Amino acid sequence: MFRDLGQSVDVAGALTVRGTRILLDLNFPAFQDDLLGLDANELRPVLKTLRKLKTLDWETVYRDHGIKWEQVKDAPGKFTIRVSGRSRAVVRREGDYMRFVAIHTEHDAAYGKK
């Protein structure tokens, strides 16, 4: 992490101001289909995680053991986060935005495995 005058370059390569809260982008059509397709028991913890993410800054997300920010090996710029005990979301970092691409209820599917 490089620091200069309150700014830093994070692990996703984005320039950010320390302490800036994450902005969520939930507008990707495939993500919306996945989200709306979840049953009520799976949807509750996902929404709880989304609420939590809105309160965090990027440095906290990278360190949070519950969220588990991980790079997708064969997809530069794509990451996975844990959104429930069973599900992971595929996300991208664009500035202060966390853009949600998909939700996978099967762990390996989030990494492009069958």
- Quote the pLDDT of residue 70: 95
- Quote the pLDDT of residue 26: 98
- Quote the pLDDT of residue 3: 44
Contact between residue 89 and residue 80 where contact means Cβ atoms under 8 Å apart: yes
- Quote the pLDDT of residue 106: 74
- Quote the pLDDT of residue 108: 53
- Quote the pLDDT of residue 113: 55
The structural domains of the chain, with segments of one domain joined by +, span 21-111
**Quick one: three-class SS letters along 51-103?**
HHHHCCEHHHHHHCCCCCCEECCCCCCEEEEECCCCCEEEEEEECCEEEEEEE
The tens place of each residue's pLDDT in the chain, 114 residues long, gives: 444 445 555 555 544 456 789 999 999 999 999 999 999 999 999 999 999 999 999 999 999 999 999 999 999 999 999 999 999 999 999 999 999 999 998 755 555 554
- Quote the pLDDT of residue 4: 44
Top-level class of domain 21-111? alpha beta
pTM reported for the whole predicted model: 0.78
- Quote the pLDDT of residue 20: 85
